[in-house]
Amino acid sequence: MNVALVKNDTGIAASSVFSAAAGRLPGTGKVADIRREAFAAFERTGLPHRRIEEWKYTDLRALVREVLPLAGLPDAAALSRARAAVASVAIEGATKLVLIDGVVAADLSDLSALPAGVTVRTLRAVLDDQSNDARGDLLLTKASDPMLSLNAALATDGVVITVADGAQLSAPLQLIHVATAAKSARYSRSHLRVGQGARATLVENSIAVDGAAAYQANDAAVISVGDDAALSHVRLMRDATDALNVSSELVTVGARSKLSLFNMTSGGAVSRLQVFFTMAGEGSELIVNGVNLLRDKQHGDLTLVVDHAVPGCTSRENFRAVLDDRAHSVFQGRIIVRPHAQKTDGKMMTRALLLSDEAESDSKPELEIFADDVSCGHGATAGALDDSLLFYLQARGLPEKQAQALLVQAFVGEAIEAIEDDGLRERVIASAQDWLETRA
């Protein structure tokens, strides 16, 4: 019996996009083979949909329907428009690494003025290096996910950062993604290795210039934190109001190390941050805090998988969502404790604040425990502002919107206060206040 496989419209469009982009993608030989294999893996599924459990609440086949063509290389006009956008988010003293529509912009980046102990190469340069064909491994990931596969197939550029053993960075590294194109897609993949005993801070921004609309962003980061090291990672995502942003991170944490991740999403029509953590060294600590500030019909998804593969590690996940109008927030958190990972201490908590009767929050915390000497727990709540507190503030002369803003600030404050750097914390608070002030 002959069976004919019929592709859906998404599959046909994606095939055309991959074929059209092939001549622009860096790397040949093994790199090209890996790209083809990754795209074949994506084609077997197509855009993620509700029948895939991990994507149950974020059905891209229904939300975005198609894969857009690859954005063109940024020209002089795009660089000029991006320069002002970069200046608006640049941190004084930070080492700036700027990607425009998925391509490293050397003119806007500090590639030649790096702090001691830091080396940076562009992903394109590494993959194009004919003497280093094996570096196709930079496109490989252990996690199985259709959007990661699509990223591996179409990754145009990115940065490969190495922080040397023992380096103590006094200022942040700042990775800035700028969208300038409309109705097109960008794909970047960056790598960060923090060496043994090193200390570093990475700030990541996603922004758009005027005229960048209806674009798709698929960015990935592979992060390795060495033994006795510390990394603080702060992400601020303010994409165009009609954009799609799917960001993936694969993080490995060594022994006796500390990793802090904070993410705040306040832009984009559809956004998802998915992070796959592996606690690979004993005695390490993971702290994750997230805030979604969503309005209109925005859809924001935070999906975390924390794999405790060794004994004696601690993880804490704390998520807050503030939803207005018909916004939809999703939190999926899974803690996995392997059979030999005794003395694991893992906890997660998600809370949603609904400012409208039409807002929606979906929470799915999970525990998969295969060891018996552990302390693990999770919780989830959703509700409206406390009427008695609102009345108390209004009775003392505050207008309703201002009273609501104070309560919202207190609600998200616990997550934001976890940022250790005072300057970064104030920057995040200011961004949250901007969102509150623009509420209708």
The answer on pLDDT for 5 being more than 60 is no
For residue 326, what pLDDT is reported? 97
CB 196 within 8 A of CB 225: no
Q: H helices then E strands: how many in the chain?
A: 9, 19
Residue ending a domain, choose from 281, 310, 329:
281
Residue 2 to residues 5, 7, 12, 139, Cα–Cα distance (Å): 10, 16, 21, 35
* pLDDT over 60 at 2, yes or no: no
Query: How does residue 134 score in pLDDT terms, banded at 50, 70 and 90?
Result: low
Last residue of a domain, one of 229, 248, 281: 281
- Indicate the number of domains in the chain: 2
Query: To which residue do tokens 């200022």 refer?
Result: 171
b/e 339-350 (16+ beta carbons within 10 angstroms → b): eebebbebbbbb
- Averaged pLDDT score across all residues of the chain: 93
Answer yes or no: are the C-beta atoms of 220 and 245 closer than 8 Å. Answer: no
Confidence at residue 133, expressed as pLDDT on a 0 to 100 scale? 55
The secondary structure of residue 52, as a DSSP letter, is S
DSSP string, 147-180: HHHHHHHH--B-EEEEEPTT-B-SS-EEEEEEE-
Which of 252, 281, 310 is the last residue in one of the domains? 281
Give pLDDT tens digits for 247-283.
Answer: 999 999 999 999 999 999 999 999 999 999 999 999 9
323, 360 Cβ separation under 8 angstroms = yes
104 & 222 share domain: yes
Domain that holds residue 53: 14-281
**Do the beta carbons of residue 148 and residue 142 sit within 8 Å?**
no
Flag whether 399 is in a domain.
yes
359 inside domain: no
Look at residue 1 in the predicted model and tell me its pLDDT. Answer: 40
- The verdict on 101 and 217 lying in the same domain is yes
- Is position 361 within any domain? no
Question: For 189-213, how does the pLDDT look when each residue is reduced to its tens digit (9 = 90+)?
Answer: 999 999 999 999 999 999 999 999 9
Cβ neighbour number for residue 66 with a 10 Å cutoff = 16
pTM value is: 0.94
Residue 1 lies in a domain: no
Within a domain: residue 423? yes
Q: What is the pLDDT of residue 440?
A: 58
| Residue 308 contacts residue 299 (beta carbons within 8 Å) | no
